[in-house]
């Protein structure tokens, strides 16, 4: 898969609320479902992931996805997500970017003069119905309906360099630990990013092996994917700002789409949001996702998340066989 002498590999590069998403179709993968193909990619495409993520082609906060077929005829396309440390189970900003790309490139049919188009995307965590809003045929926003989200732990005590903190855990396609930073000496802003990375890593490490991050249906969805460090900048809990630290210290520039679903589940649990209520979720780079609780079924909530994405580059990659850095390097 890595380009040999004289070969090239081309990607479409998009971002959603500032978070990068590099899109490629690298050919067939084994497996009957996208989750199966993720497992195959973990075993067979890790060098390609490293090639696309690492400097000088990428950086420590690069993100992307391989386009794959859907699970069955009910889907339009599938995607295997990847980042600097591996292959993730869910990615909301990537789903938004992927649907915008699929509409923009004509991969999905768009009726003339349509104001909206529905696109069904299969991701490792499940099937996501999405709707792209169109202006003059171009996608201006994408809303995806996420897999059911749920709360798995409340008020876990975790020791950090900011003291003992209360941590909540919820699933939004992946498991996230949530920590309020309103009363700490850090803010969910770019000028505190180094402290936020350290704190996010400490919380994630403390939860390793904890039963709250074990998925009840499929162990391939288990594990703490990231730490959401959030604050309420005003008096309205329906407007929050967060920095999500995922993988091994990777920083999400966007408000984090699957993390938004996890936050919605927690806000509903705490009685701060009901069905039909919106959460205006602000990210590190100034962008916003709008999350909504669509329905509740027992202890699970169905959420939707809306954001926009923009194409910023087409990248053509080569690998000089004499290049001493090879697949690349990461400084963090």
Q: Which of the residues 91, 224, 239, 256 is marked catalytic?
A: 91
Rg (C-alpha) for the chain, rounded Å, is 19
**CB-count burial class (<10 Å; 0-12, 13-18, 19+) for 235:** exposed
- Our CA angle for 200, 201, 207, nearest 5°, is 95
Catalytic: 239? no
For residue 305, what are the CA distances in angstroms to 31, 126, 183?
Answer: 28, 15, 28
Collapsing DSSP to helix, strand or coil, 59 comes out as: coil
Cβ neighbours, 10 Å, residue 149: 25
Closest by CA position to 170, among listed 63, 239, 256, 276: 256
Taking CA atoms, 87 is separated from 13, 64, 125, 213, in Å, by 18, 10, 12, 17
- Tokens 């205006």 sit at which residue? 280
Catalytic residues: 91
């Amino acid at each position: 898969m890595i380009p040999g002498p004289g070969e090239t590999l081309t990607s479409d590069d998009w971002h959603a609320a500032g978070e990068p998403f590099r899109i490629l179709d690298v050919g067939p993968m084994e497996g009957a479902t996208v989750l199966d193909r993720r497992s195959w990619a973990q075993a067979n495409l890790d060098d390609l992931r490293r090639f696309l993520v690492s400097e000088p082609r990428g950086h420590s906060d690069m993100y992307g996805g391989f386009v794959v077929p859907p699970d069955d005829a009910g889907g339009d396309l599938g995607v295997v997500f990847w980042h600097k440390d591996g292959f993730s189970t869910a990615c909301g900003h990537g789903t938004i970017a992927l649907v915008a790309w699929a509409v923009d490139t004509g991969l999905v049919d768009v009726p003339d003069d349509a104001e909206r188009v529905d696109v069904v995307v299969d991701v490792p965590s499940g099937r996501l119905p999405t709707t792209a809003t169109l202006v003059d045929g171009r996608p201006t926003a994408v809303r995806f309906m996420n897999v059911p989200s749920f709360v798995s732990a409340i008020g876990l005590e975790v020791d950090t360099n900011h003291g003992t903190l209360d941590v909540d855990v919820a699933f939004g396609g992946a498991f996230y630990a949530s920590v309020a930073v309103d009363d700490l000496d850090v803010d969910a802003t770019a000028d505190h990013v180094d402290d936020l990375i350290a704190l996010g890593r400490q919380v994630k490490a403390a939860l390793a092996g904890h039963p709250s991050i074990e998925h009840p249906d499929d162990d391939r969805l288990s594990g703490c994917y990231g730490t959401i460090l959030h604050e309420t900048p005003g008096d309205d809990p329906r407007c929050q700002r967060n920095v999500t630290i995922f993988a091994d210290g990777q920083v999400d520039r966007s408000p984090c789409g699957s993390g938004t679903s996890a936050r919605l589940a927690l806000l509903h649990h705490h009685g701060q949001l009901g069905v039909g209520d919106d959460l205006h979720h602000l990210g590190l780079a100034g962008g916003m996702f709008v999350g909504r609780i669509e329905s509740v079924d027992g202890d699970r909530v169905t959420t939707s998340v809306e954001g926009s994405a923009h194409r910023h580059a087409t990248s053509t990659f080569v690998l000089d066989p004499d290049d001493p850095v090879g697949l690349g390097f990461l400084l963090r």
